[in-house]
Structure 1
Amino acid sequence: MASYCSLTNVLSSSKFSTLISSRTDGISMTGGISMTDRETSGLPSTQSDLRMWVTVGILTLCYVFSVVDRLVINLLVDPIRADLGLSDLEIALIQGPAFAILYATAGAPLGRLADVMSRRKLAAAAIAFWSACTALTGLATNFLSIAAARIGVGVGEAALTPVAYSLFADGLRRERLARAIAIYTAGGALGSGLALIGGGWLYATFEAMGTAMMPWRLTLLAVGLPGLLLAGLVLLFVIEPPRRDPGPRLPVRHVLGHIAAQRSFYGWTFLAYAALATLLYAFMAWAPSHLIRGFGLTPGEAGMRFGTAMLVAGIGGPLLAGWVVDRIALKMGALAPLRVMSAAFLCAIGLALVLPFVGDLNAAVVLLGAIGFFSTGMLGLPPTALQFATPGRMRGLVSGINLMVGNLIGLSLGPVAVALLSARMAGGLAPALAAVMAVAGVVGLIALFCVQAPQDIDGSTPTV
């Protein structure tokens, strides 16, 4: 952790300082309003601050449940295949494309909805929809019905993150935004752990009970139905703060025109996030296999060791990154999250290059945890920079585009590149995984070196 902070301080005085080409008055951000303006507008007050942190907590809980609903099916592959008579290809389609393609592509249009309608109601509807689809997955009778349910889960979950980011940006003070996004991001690690541990416990419990309904079906019903209660919780307790940039709805062409005009910021930020997604998808897909092949672990043993390491790293990394950004944002402005991301990329690249040379199991698990710490720590940083720099009526669509680009590129390149390289490189999986992560990290660093702050810094909606 100390290296994370010290490296950030070094970078702040290095060549990267040329990246900040705009003025920062207090914590005035491009396309937003300055802290002075925010305070004089009366938003948020101490009471609304407290209610917004309740909102952060509730939406983080929703994110935890979304990840559980997304991943728990991976534990149930064998019983689903046996019960429904599915092939390996059909199972692979259910796990991957049926969810991922719609999850990636639906983010932009749903993000647009977050810009033009009540975000609280949109979040509640999305949560109820994906939760119902998770439950319906447990009632499926063939490939088409289970694939349709998984598509529904992907579409519903695609709405939550753009809505959450937009609400946080409008409802919280600038110096607390990175921390809020970090807390939300850490919910993903908690959800992954609960999917593996809690999902396994539920299945074992239902199996031991000898119920008339198949245990895998009951497991999916048990994790899906509580989401309907969460949707009600969102309607009751999540607040809809006034948009920071009030005004008429902006046509999509205006938003796209703004992105094009400020492409030296948005284009490179999108690329940096895509590079991170490539690194992380490769890492998460192949790190357990590295433990299995390299150290002779069973899948269960590898899952427990890697899962525990990632549970700690996936919570600690985003929280530390958010704290660092909040500490330096007053000095560095809208690009502060990307400066921290540069430091984290350097650390992740260095650790990845060591991976093929570690022959001790415990050291390998610690190393994987360290890579996970810096990699997951970066997840909330490009979104934070986008929220800092984007006018309020554009944030949902911009967040959706960022998620769409990152997920499509990361899913397409990361795992596949490792598989192709491992068949051609001496040493197999470990050097291939290290090479893909290192190359993705270097691409991310290049993008962050090239990014420039947007030009409009007067707090008004940018003119395109």
Structure 2
Amino acid sequence: MSSMETVRPAALTPHDKDSPRIWIAVVILSACYVFSLIDRLIINLLVDPIKADLGLSDLQIALVQGPAFAVLYATAGAPLGRLADIMSRRGLAAAAIAFWSACTAVTGAAANFLTLAAARVGVGVGEAALTPAAYSLFADGVRRDRLGRAIAIYTAGGALGSGLALLGGGWLYSAFEAAGTTTAPWRLTLLAVGLPGLLLAAAVLLLVKEPPRRDAEARPAVRSVLAWLALHRRFYGWTFAAYAALSTLIYGFMAWTPSYLIRTFEIAPGEAGMRFGTAMLIGGVAGPLFAGWAVDRAASRLGLMAPLRVMAAAFLCAIAAILALPWITGPGSAVVLLGIVGFFATGMLGLPPIALQLATPGLMRGLVSGINLMIGNLIGLSLGPVAVALLSSRLAGGLAPALASVVVASALAGILALLCARAPRPSTETPGPTSVAPVTHEPMQA
């Protein structure tokens, strides 16, 4: 049997009101996202002392940095997103924050490769739950014409966390090392960045208010969500593809840019981290905030497609900036250029989620967000860093042309996907068996 579902993507109008205290939730969950990136990236600065202390090989460290975290982080997004559709998003976020923070602290107590890898798996699983829960909560609590800036603030938290991991992690480790503690400084560093997350989890429970779900009253079965995605595949499929292209660009860019600075300009790793961390702290925070503002400004004319049109323009700007990289001759100008690329790249991170939240019925949003993150992270983590490494060994000039090639190719793929995307039609029939009741959204203004 099939049911008729009226599909009118959510309006970008000021007629609905923000839920009480929703902006408190935006700030707190954004702070949680900051710590998630710190906890995720801090281990990259501690490779050498961890190797020396635990007697690990380069391969074992690579497995801890990559697959131990990334595979479950990517694949757990969809099932944990489903949980955001069927339980309290506040409760899910608090539990996830407490879990990954505890795992980060436990990483500092690892005795061998297996316990280190297990702790990193826990960090990945915990972090996978936060973003689907946060996006769904924002979409129900924030006024439609302000959703762009809410998600932009959250996305900027990721860039802030990346910069702080580079800048603050080294300082924290150096401070413990200078103190001459009997416990290894890398262990104390992981403990220090992990434990504050437990306080943030408590803050989520105490201060974040769960907004009522705006749209559907009946909870759709998973097969109904998949049928919805298939029915509107020209929107969801191409939006997922654009996010995957962006993830490929960012993972490749972030993985190899420090090495580019070190090898090209013969500067120390600490200096490279400080320079690139500062660039990402400035460009990476400003980019999402500017993109959110641009979406909210364009929404009255472009409606649901506004985030995707802004994203296409940002891809073009990233291409224009990165093409100059092979001809840069000094570290200062290189850092400025890399900061500009980071501005546009991180600015795009929140744009597909904005479009997905606006187009998707309320009790499907968590699962749809999780699917988007799963596809993007699996493709991005698989292609981005590897593509740069392969090209750097084959292109004259090494990392500079390799980085530029991957950024340009990813951006062009993203632009193609965005040009193919089409907004969901005002009304259609959902094929196949379904347990979801008819869903009605507010009319979208074009």
Q: Deviations over 1:307-329 (max 9, x none)?
A: 11111000010000000101111
2:435 aligned residue: none
1:379 aligned residue: 349
> Once the 2 structures are TM-superposed, how far is the Cα of residue 158 of structure 1 from its aligned partner?
0.3
SS of corresponding position for 1:158: helix
> Which of 386, 393, 418 lines up with 1:448 in the alignment?
418
Query: 1:55–1:239: 8 Å Cα contact kept in structure 2?
Result: yes
Q: Please tell me whether residue 92 in structure 1 is matched to residue 70 in structure 2.
A: no
Q: Which moved more, 1:105-114 or 1:277-286?
A: 277-286
Q: Please tell me whether residue 180 in structure 1 is matched to residue 180 in structure 2.
A: no
2:323 aligned residue: 353
Query: 1:130–1:157: 8 Å Cα contact kept in structure 2?
Result: yes
Q: Deviations over 1:151-199 (max 9, x none)?
A: 0000000000001100000000111100010110011111112222222
CA RMSD of aligned residues (A): 1.9
> Once the 2 structures are TM-superposed, how far is the Cα of residue 34 of structure 1 from its aligned partner?
6.7
The letter of the residue matching 1:424 is R
2:189 aligned residue: 219
1:461 aligned residue: 439
CA distance in 2, matches of 1:320, 1:146: 39
The letter of the residue matching 1:369 is G
2:228 aligned residue: 258
* Unmatched segments (≥5 aa) in structure 2: 1-6, 429-437, 442-446
Q: Deviations over 1:243-284 (max 9, x none)?
A: 011312110000000000000000000000001111111111
Distance 1:306 1:44, change over 3 A: closer
SS of corresponding position for 2:394: coil
2:400 aligned residue: 430
> Once the 2 structures are TM-superposed, how far is the Cα of residue 150 of structure 1 from its aligned partner?
0.4
SS of corresponding position for 2:388: helix
2:241 aligned residue: 271
Query: 2:12–2:299: 8 Å Cα contact kept in structure 1?
Result: no
CA distance in 2, matches of 1:60, 1:44: 18
Counterparts of 1:163-312 in structure 2, within 5 Å, are: 163-312=133-282
The letter of the residue matching 2:62 is A
Query: 1:75–1:200: 8 Å Cα contact kept in structure 2?
Result: yes
Counterparts of 1:402-441 in structure 2, within 5 Å, are: 402-441=372-411
The letter of the residue matching 1:279 is L
Query: 1:325–1:340: 8 Å Cα contact kept in structure 2?
Result: yes
Q: Which moved more, 1:354-363 or 1:333-342?
A: 354-363
> Once the 2 structures are TM-superposed, how far is the Cα of residue 428 of structure 1 from its aligned partner?
2.0
The letter of the residue matching 2:158 is G
1:148 aligned residue: 118
Q: Please tell me whether residue 131 in structure 1 is matched to residue 105 in structure 2.
A: no
The letter of the residue matching 2:154 is Y
Q: Please tell me whether residue 32 in structure 1 is matched to residue 6 in structure 2.
A: no
Question: 4+ runs of 1 displaced by more than 6 Å?
Answer: none
Q: Which moved more, 1:375-384 or 1:242-251?
A: 242-251
The letter of the residue matching 1:292 is I
Query: 1:275–1:444: 8 Å Cα contact kept in structure 2?
Result: yes
The letter of the residue matching 2:232 is Q
The letter of the residue matching 1:243 is R
1:392 aligned residue: 362
Distance 1:34 1:438, change over 3 A: closer
> Once the 2 structures are TM-superposed, how far is the Cα of residue 208 of structure 1 from its aligned partner?
2.1
Distance 1:356 1:393, change over 3 A: same
> Once the 2 structures are TM-superposed, how far is the Cα of residue 125 of structure 1 from its aligned partner?
0.5
> Which of 12, 18, 35 lines up with 1:44 in the alignment?
18
SS of corresponding position for 2:369: helix
> Once the 2 structures are TM-superposed, how far is the Cα of residue 456 of structure 1 from its aligned partner?
3.3
2:444 aligned residue: none
* Unmatched segments (≥5 aa) in structure 1: 1-28
The letter of the residue matching 1:44 is D
The letter of the residue matching 1:401 is I
Query: 2:164–2:281: 8 Å Cα contact kept in structure 1?
Result: no
CA distance in 1, matches of 2:86, 2:9: 18
Counterparts of 1:301-380 in structure 2, within 5 Å, are: 301-380=271-350
CA distance in 2, matches of 1:262, 1:404: 19
Query: 1:165–1:383: 8 Å Cα contact kept in structure 2?
Result: yes
The letter of the residue matching 1:427 is G
SS of corresponding position for 2:299: helix
CA distance in 1, matches of 2:177, 2:384: 36
Query: 1:456–1:462: 8 Å Cα contact kept in structure 2?
Result: no
Query: Aligned residues: percent identity?
Result: 71
Distance 1:429 1:200, change over 3 A: closer
CA distance in 2, matches of 1:293, 1:221: 32
Query: 1:337–1:381: 8 Å Cα contact kept in structure 2?
Result: yes
Alignment length, in residue pairs? 428
CA distance in 2, matches of 1:329, 1:183: 18
Distance 1:146 1:35, change over 3 A: same
Distance 1:364 1:176, change over 3 A: same
> Once the 2 structures are TM-superposed, how far is the Cα of residue 347 of structure 1 from its aligned partner?
0.6
